[in-house]
A and B are shown apart, each in its own frame.
With several copies, the nearest count.
Chain A
Amino acid sequence: MTAVIQPPAGVRPAPAVDLMELYRRMRLLRCLDEALADLVEQGLVRGPMHLGIGQEAAGIGATAALEDGDLVTATHRPHAQYVGLGLPLGRTLAEMMGRADGQCGGRGGHMLIADRAHGLLGPSGIVGHSLLLAVGHGLAQRRAGLGRVTLCVTGDGAVNSGAFNEALNMVALWRLPVVVLVENNRYGLSVRLDRHVHQTALHRRAGGYGIPAVQVDGNDVEAVREAVQGAVGRARSAGGPTLVEAVTYRNCPFSGSDRGGYQDPAEAEGLTDPLRLAAERLLARGRRPEELAEADGRAAREIAQAVAFAEASPWPEAADLVALAARWDGEGGR
């Protein structure tokens, strides 16, 4: 008889105590995505690439509400979770470049980086997966009874997947310790929110399941953190799931192949940039411009180092793929 069920332990960065730290993480994420845009341009990163420029507050605010041992599932646009959970960025970039030092040895690529040590078990390129995987993590966590929580990140487009209904119903029914963060960037790929749902206040979907829900300004990193913190607290104390809708905007192409033309230029005009908002607030609270500049510089250097590390990383060997295929196929597979 095996003993206690232990969900994987995570090594989470200490809870971000101040806005300065949240700002630093958002800047790191922005620098990462800007660097990636270049790397894609240069052909050093290949395949689909989903950046999140403009959406930093939602992802960074949410992960900042977690504690050691909590788990996270994510989407095809998972860089905020990579940065927010403190994944080693050199290895992360190596993974995106398909190198041997990547967390997944180059097999997963930018959408499929898991990092068990950091509590990230479930980014997936399939819309809806993050919701289903979160049900499973939640069941394991409830069973273990250690007060751990799963943060499930999903998008506005994903709200229309079959998986959304199946998952929301299960987390509600079983009162699982799951917080569903809907990053509503007002587009599902090219389709504007009001062209893919009739009721655009997405948090209203939660009511049908008897789940509490809240809508927050997804460009305000503190507001997101606070909302998620409340939800996480409830989940931790067996109070069941919550849906948090963070309204934000994607201020960059959908992916590397984006031909554009579907976003209304007017939309972007009044936009609050999450980094600028945080910076203004920091200055208003007495931080000096040099402190911000220093944080910006540090982030840029950190990313440059990570890129250098990744570029120096060797290519993975293909031999183990051949062995794996032989085992799975049985004799004479290819």
Chain B
Amino acid sequence: MTRLTYAQALNDALRGEMLRDERIVLLGEDIGVYGGVFSVTSGLLEQFGPDRVLDTPISENGIVGAAVGMAMSGLRPVVEIMYTDFLCLALDSIANGAAVFPFAYGGQVSMPLVIRTQGGAGANAGPQHSKSLEAWTAHLPGVHTVLPSNPADAKGLLTSALRSSEPVVLVEHKLLYGTEGEVPEGEHLVPLERAQVVRPGRDATVIALSRMVGEALVAAEQLAEQQLDVEVIDVRSLRPLDVATLAASARRTGRVVVAGEAWVRYGPTAEIAAAVTEAAFAELRAPVVRVGSLGVPYPASPALEPTVLPDADTLRRAVEDLVKSAR
């Protein structure tokens, strides 16, 4: 174990796998000479050279489309899309390309493509640099969407993604890059299809995504003072969704809150709520509660952004209300 930041853990995963597999090639805006706007690719150009770490032009759809071609040609491309908001520009290459060719070509090609991107609000970055759109790629059959919430998972999920033969979208969170944690040294794999119980509890379950996992743990500590024992589960992977783990907890506690930063309507929490309800309906004492961002674009003002973004307080209140209302 070693103490690393989330950004360093991602860097560690890239470096380790690039040493192991020379088919891995990184491409993205400002990832080479500069080492990435969030420093995730720092030092990799120097170590692996310009054939394996490509600074690209500002061409989001083009980079991902090129990566789709590279993957079909036997390489293992890893694209960095600087902000999830810009992933909007590349969805054609994902939805009509990466998700389609392995299927449509009848299995003649695999698609070992990793798209790393970064989302989330809380940095006063405004409506074009703060969104959480993970529900979009999670809607696509054949594409994995994973969201690490801590440095160890960041390394483990990225390493697994780098060994997958199917496209993986890894959504990082801008506010997590600087957070530190214990990270296993050397090879560390986290499966791409397993949720994890990060705090066991009996009275209610909070199913959380990405940065909301940390907020849920804070809320759980506060609730413990009120003798409420809250289980916290980190979803980690949106697709395939680990319904078994989520539903087992829901059946035990009977009370579920699902928390993600994305907008609520048609967001990731809608699917999780629906899937958990399908699997644990009889044991639920109240409908699953969803927590997410207020349904407006993210305002830039520091005075407005907190109104839009959920946090530990929002979660605590949601659990309190749920416990009061549940039959």
Contact = CB atoms under 8 A, between A and B. Distances in A.
Given a CB threshold of 8 Å, the question of whether A touches B is answered with yes
Interface of A: 1-2, 5-8, 46-48, 71, 73, 98-99, 102-116, 121-122, 124-129, 131-137, 139-141, 143, 157-158, 160-163, 165-167, 169-170, 173-174, 188-192, 195-197, 257, 259, 261-262, 315-316, 318, 321-322, 324-325, 327-334
Contact of A8 (B73, B89, B240): B73
Interface in B92-107: 92-93, 96-97, 100-101, 103-107
Contacts of B301: 98-99, 102, 105-107, 109, 315-316
B22 interface: yes
Nearest to A161: B58
A277 B254 CA distance: 73
Given A107-B104, A139-B70, A166-B59, A328 B129 contact: no
Contacts of A327: 240
B61 interface: yes
A131 B105 CA distance: 18
B240 A2 contact: no
B109 A125 contact: no
B58 A73 contact: no
Interface residues of B, number: 87
B184 interface: no
B106 A46 contact: no
Interface string B53-94: 011111101110111111111110100000001100100110
Contacts of B129: 47-48, 125
Contact of A48 (B56, B125, B244): B125
Contact of A328 (B21, B23, B295): B295
A257 to B, nearest CB: 7
Interface stretch (B26-34, B149-157, B201-209): B26-34
B128 A126 contact: yes
A133 B14 CA distance: 24
Given A191-B34, A261-B34, A333-B294, 10 more contacts: A98-B300, A102-B301, A108-B127, A114-B108, A125-B129, A126-B92, A133-B69, A196-B57, A328-B141, A330-B242
A167 B63 CA distance: 9
Interface string B116-150: 00000001111111000000000001100000000
10 contacts: A8-B73, A98-B124, A98-B300, A98-B302, A112-B300, A114-B108, A122-B69, A133-B97, A135-B62, A166-B63
